[in-house]
Structure 1
Amino acid sequence: MLEKTFYHTLLAHSFNVPITVNYWDNTSETYGEGTPEVTISFKKAIPVSALTKNASLALGEAFMAGDIEITGTVDFPIQKVLTAAYESADSFMRNPKLMRLIPKQSHSERASKHDVQSHYDLGNDFYKLWLDPTMTYSCAYFTSPDDDLETAQKNKVMHILRKLNPQPGRTLLDIGCGWGTLMLTAAKVFKLNVVGITLSQEQYDYVNQRIKDEHLEDVAEVQLVDYRELKHDPFDYVTSVGMFEHVGEENLGLYFKDVARFMKDDGTALIHGITRQQGGATNAWLTKYIFPGGYVPGMAENLGHIVDAGMQLDDLEPLRRHYQRTLEIWDTNFNAHREEIQAAQGESFTRMWDLYLQAAAASFESGNIDVMQFLISKGASGKDLPMTRDYMYL
């Protein structure tokens, strides 16, 4: 009875839309006013001790195990439930005390390599199923309602590179180069000499093959190396997309100092990553199952590190809605191959990734997290950039 009372209290303060809840004892309750379009079914009770210790971890693991089912008449039912929870001002999901209970993560070179490979080395074939043909695993950029995912990802790469105002023959470092689309576009379209670095063996092999297939050996190179260990002359331009979320709170300042170290004295960098306007945060379920060592920094936190590293801000652009749409498309693609993924990886893995993609979309939709592009200079701000932002949209 005490357990059921706890659930009533928890759920009554967790959503800003009407929700039907089916309990493990064959009883049902509706929370909120109106006609519910979404139903949450608990196949069995999650111990109160697990919920009070870390709700996100307990609920995420219960969903993976099939002990929670979410169904509804709206598109992305899980996403809508999570968005409603994030947007509820007094929800347990917005409780900073719970976030701070999560243990500190190691971010040594060895730990970082393990963290990256545990996520990105699931196999190129897995990512090919639901990413677009460019194999770009970061926020796309939709310039038109008619843009498909591939077009939007190409838009994003061009948007980043145009912001640098790159001049032919100069050099670019891409920290965390992924499957190489940005660095190779810089080489082919903007005639830059590029170096990409990654800790993922799968990505390293893939990019190396692309370089050979596209005959770019004279202008493009990829290295399997931690950014902290890179030995190279400074570059004219530095890009880093979806990287700083992985370095850890304790290494964030060092990361931006390394960005400055890689830049020439008049260099320019475009740093693109997930951040929060409300301050830094972690999530126990994501840390354990999806992004080991992950930490989403606050926007002011990043700006402080940029200034401390001796760099200056040229431009700041939020792309929150773009990432929400990207994730929704990824999840649609993922579920189009759900049977194939489940046959290869198992039901728990498949439910885990579906939850991850929808929870991330919900976080962006609610404003719980954001994604920012920081255009920064080493030296006088904007010295080598045009006077207005018009050049970014040619």
Structure 2
Amino acid sequence: MDKLFQDFFAGLIKAGSMEIETAEGHRFLVGDGSGEKIALRFNDRTAQIRLMVDPELHFGELFMDERIDVTEGSVYDALLLASENLMRPDIGPLRADGSGWVRLLQQARMGLRRFEQANDALRAKRNVAHHYDLDRGLYALFLDSDLQYSCAYFEADGQSLDEAQLAKKRHIAAKLMPGPGQRILDIGCGFGGMAIYLARYCDASVTGVTLSKAQLGVAKDRAAALGLSAATDFRMLDYREIDGCFNRIVSVGMFEHVGLHHYKSYFQKIAQLLDDDGVALIHTIGRASGPAATQPWIAKYIFPGGYIPGMSEILPAIERTGLFVTDVEVLRLHYADTMKAWREHFLARRDEAKALYDERFCRMWELYLAGSECAFRCEGLVVFQIQLAKKVDAVPLTRDYVGRGEAALRQREQAKASYRMAG
């Protein structure tokens, strides 16, 4: 059994240095000896078998249940090493070792992904509640002060998370080109930060919709505290139930929950809601490497019903709605750096998270943040910002307007800040 276990890991880890300690206390090294050594200890023999059966799913479960411990390095280090090895170009699905078996499982899951993302209105609400209706205090432990739970936009080295999240909102607003009094729809408004920014600095009237009770309450409270209740309208509503006509539509970090079956109807809804001169901006995680199945542990414990699409899955759905794609931007390592900041914040306040939940939850959440960061660093995950319009000339013909818009918004932010200080 130990020989099979060692061969499995030897096939999985070719580069780097990892020491494995079995439940019987035997140790062996895998990799080429380069880099800092990472060590794992298996605390029972069944854990070893379960890992070989389905490492992508069972490593997370075994780590949560303290049946695997990382004894040298961190869980982030272990996942990063595994990610770097799985992305090696020499790995093929027919290899009779750990890496080949993982690839075979990934291919099998590709065939099931449409069944796992049948996100009708009832299932969508249940999936959102699973993740976003956790104790609101949890998110305050690791997010920025505006509770932005999506990719930040790091404009310069050394920028803080708060600065980068503000830059993200500014960047999106500049692409939307909102004018005073315009009606804006925020699909999947989260804790309300983007909607409040548009109301506060663009003098817009913003409707935000979410399926999370916790997020809805926070968004309403924050708008009221800033005197923006009249300019914002936050609702508990599925995007399929929205009526009306909007000058601008924005959606940040929600498209990942739509599901493959519903892409065409999602963009049809945007086309229906957007006025003839309108502009929409969809900000979503995507796969630069093309379609793939959702990581199984993430699908089971973190984001049920979630799916990260390739560009080749998004654009055909848009083309069938008559909307023009007027701009596409790919943010590459911005989310990796966002996840790094979240992970570090969470670990710094881990005891507070444990007081809210328990040790198992903390191990789960650390694994989620660490694994997600690795995926953005090594596995081809990026963020797409896709700008849409009904008319080919709805936005300027060059991208200079984005920089000009950001500069104007910075001035408004500074003016508001100066006014508050004077007050």
TM over 0.5, shorter chain: yes
Matches within 5 A, 1:149-188: 149-188=161-200
Q: CA deviation at 1:294?
A: 0.9
Specify which of 283, 299, 320 is matched with residue 287 of structure 1: 299
DSSP 3-state at the match of 1:285: helix
Over 3 Å counting, the alpha-carbon distance change for 1:71 and 1:98 in structure 2 is farther
Per the alignment, residue 259 of structure 1 pairs with 270
In 2: Cα distance, 1:86 partner to 1:322 partner: 22
Per the alignment, residue 9 of structure 1 pairs with 7
Q: CA deviation at 1:100?
A: 2.9
Per the alignment, residue 390 of structure 1 pairs with 400
Aligned residue identity for 2:249: V
What do you get for the CA RMSD once the two structures are aligned?
2.0
Per the alignment, residue 245 of structure 1 pairs with 256
In 1: Cα distance, 2:177 partner to 2:158 partner: 27
Per the alignment, residue 30 of structure 1 pairs with 29
Per the alignment, residue 419 of structure 2 pairs with none
In 2: Cα distance, 1:94 partner to 1:71 partner: 27
Per the alignment, residue 55 of structure 1 pairs with 55
Mapped contact 2:141–2:349 kept (Cα < 8 A) = yes
Mapped contact 1:86–1:366 kept (Cα < 8 A) = no
Per the alignment, residue 214 of structure 2 pairs with 202
Matches within 5 A, 1:1-394: 1=1, 4-15=2-13, 16-35=15-34, 36-46=36-46, 50-51=50-51, 54-73=54-73, 76-89=76-89, 90=91, 91=99, 92-95=101-104, 96-100=106-110, 104-105=115-116, 106-231=118-243, 233-277=244-288, 278-380=290-392, 383-394=393-404
Mapped contact 2:127–2:305 kept (Cα < 8 A) = yes
Mapped contact 2:213–2:236 kept (Cα < 8 A) = yes
Q: CA deviation at 1:156?
A: 0.3
Q: Which has the higher helix share?
A: 2
Aligned residue identity for 1:32: G
Aligned residue identity for 1:384: A
In 1: Cα distance, 2:166 partner to 2:64 partner: 34
In 2: Cα distance, 1:71 partner to 1:52 partner: 20
DSSP 3-state at the match of 1:316: strand
Choose 361-370 or 209-218, whichever is displaced more: 209-218
DSSP 3-state at the match of 1:129: helix
Choose 150-159 or 297-306, whichever is displaced more: 297-306
In 2: Cα distance, 1:346 partner to 1:47 partner: 22
DSSP 3-state at the match of 2:66: coil
Choose 82-91 or 222-231, whichever is displaced more: 82-91
In 2: Cα distance, 1:118 partner to 1:74 partner: 27
Q: CA deviation at 1:55?
A: 2.7
In 1: Cα distance, 2:75 partner to 2:42 partner: 21
Aligned residue identity for 1:228: R
In structure 1, stretches of 5+ residues that fail to align are: none
Deviation track 1:40-85 (CA, whole Å, cap 9, x = no partner) reads: 2222234677456533111110111111122445894244234324
In 1: Cα distance, 2:52 partner to 2:12 partner: 14
Aligned residue identity for 1:13: G
Mapped contact 2:138–2:356 kept (Cα < 8 A) = no
Deviation track 1:267-286 (CA, whole Å, cap 9, x = no partner) reads: 11110111112214212211
DSSP 3-state at the match of 2:387: strand
Aligned residue identity for 1:341: A
Mapped contact 2:76–2:374 kept (Cα < 8 A) = no
Q: CA deviation at 1:304?
A: 1.2
Mapped contact 1:107–1:247 kept (Cα < 8 A) = yes
Q: CA deviation at 1:184?
A: 0.9
Choose 137-146 or 5-14, whichever is displaced more: 5-14
In 2: Cα distance, 1:210 partner to 1:321 partner: 30
Mapped contact 2:76–2:371 kept (Cα < 8 A) = no
Mapped contact 2:206–2:232 kept (Cα < 8 A) = yes
Q: CA deviation at 1:323?
A: 0.1
In 2: Cα distance, 1:370 partner to 1:201 partner: 29
Over 3 Å counting, the alpha-carbon distance change for 1:369 and 1:10 in structure 2 is farther
In 1: Cα distance, 2:189 partner to 2:335 partner: 19
Over 3 Å counting, the alpha-carbon distance change for 1:368 and 1:23 in structure 2 is farther
DSSP 3-state at the match of 1:302: helix
In structure 2, stretches of 5+ residues that fail to align are: 92-98, 405-423
In 2: Cα distance, 1:48 partner to 1:32 partner: 19
TM-score between the two structures when normalised by the length of structure 1: 0.93
In 1: Cα distance, 2:326 partner to 2:283 partner: 14
In 2: Cα distance, 1:21 partner to 1:102 partner: 33
